[in-house]
């Protein structure tokens, strides 16, 4: 059974870069049928799609975050990563990694990232 | 890209039916039959309940159903049960390999 696990610092200082990694187990990230993405949820608020990547490296970003987001993939490690630059308190959220095709069918458990000095 | 519009809250008594709407535009909900719905309990990751407008993944009770008309999709939960109390989010493909979520609806079972 496919599982996704987020990892990375839980606390990031304002203006710095948030970096998270998602490790895929129980299946290959190189599957041609799926995209791999990041979704976030600020405290008490709704879900926001950040962006996604295909195993080939093609990326697709939410226009509202595009200038600050980089998603990359490492097929040798079966991992994909998120970098969000110049963070502010508004970037404090639970960050989920996920697998999607026409819909998101597998979610990571989520990791809380707090932006604070 | 704007979030899809959902009512902030809905409620119903056990055994009753409730419907949650999700309104977008012709660029997302109205343009594709790729609407999905997710259930989220507090502190948990979302769970897929409906995909491709009206299809149910294995294991999801048939009390959950989905539909779409024009730019508005709907999730109907019949025979409400206490465990259905949760937040519900719609999601639509929006072209250019992008997706957009709704703002979420809190379902209260009275």
Q: In what order do the strands lie in the sheet with A79-84?
A: A3-7, A18-25, A79-84, A69-74
- Which of A35, A45, A109 minimises the CB distance to B45? A109
In chain B, positions 6-35, which contact chain A (CB-CB < 8 Å)? 34
Is there a contact between A110 and B45 if contact means CB atoms under 8 Å apart? yes
Q: How many residues does chain B have?
A: 110
pLDDT value for B95: 82
pLDDT per residue as tens digits for the range B55-89: 999 999 999 999 999 999 999 999 999 999 999 99
Residue B77 CB neighbour total at 10 angstroms = 24
List the single residue in A with minimal CA-CA distance to B58. Answer: A105
Provide the 3-class DSSP secondary structure of residue A54. Answer: coil
- Tell whether the torsion through CA atoms of A114, A62, A83 and A2 is positive or negative: positive
pLDDT per residue as tens digits for the range A18-66: 999 999 999 999 988 899 999 999 999 999 999 999 988 899 999 899 9
Round to whole Å and give the CA distance between B49 and B61.
Answer: 9
List the single residue in A with minimal CA-CA distance to B36. Answer: A103
Classify residue A115 by its DSSP letter. E
């Amino acid at each position: 059974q496919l599982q996704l696990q987020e990892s990375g610092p839980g606390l990031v200082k304002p203006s710095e870069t948030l970096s998270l990694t998602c490790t895929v187990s129980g299946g290959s990230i190189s599957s041609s049928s799926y995209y791999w993405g990041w979704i976030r949820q600020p405290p008490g608020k709704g879900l926001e799609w950040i962006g996604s990547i295909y195993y080939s490296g093609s990326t697709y970003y939410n226009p509202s975050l595009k200038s600050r987001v980089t998603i990359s993939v490492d097929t040798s490690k079966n991992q994909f990563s998120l970098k969000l630059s110049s963070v502010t308190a508004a970037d404090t959220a639970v960050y989920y990694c996920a697998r999607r095709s026409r819909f998101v069918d597998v979610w990571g458990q989520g990791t809380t990232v707090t932006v604070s000095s | 890209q704007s979030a899809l519009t959902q009512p902030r809250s809905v409620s119903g008594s056990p055994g009753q039916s409730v419907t949650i709407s999700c309104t977008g535009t012709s660029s997302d909900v109205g343009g594709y039959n790729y609407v999905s719905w997710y259930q989220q309990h507090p502190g948990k990751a979302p769970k897929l309940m409906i995909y491709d407008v009206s299809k149910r993944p294995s294991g999801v009770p048939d009390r959950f159903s989905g539909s779409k008309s024009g730019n508005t999709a709907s999730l109907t939960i019949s025979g409400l049960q206490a465990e259905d109390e949760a937040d519900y989010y719609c999601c639509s493909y929006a072209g250019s390999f992008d997706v957009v979520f709704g703002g979420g609806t809190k379902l209260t079972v009275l």
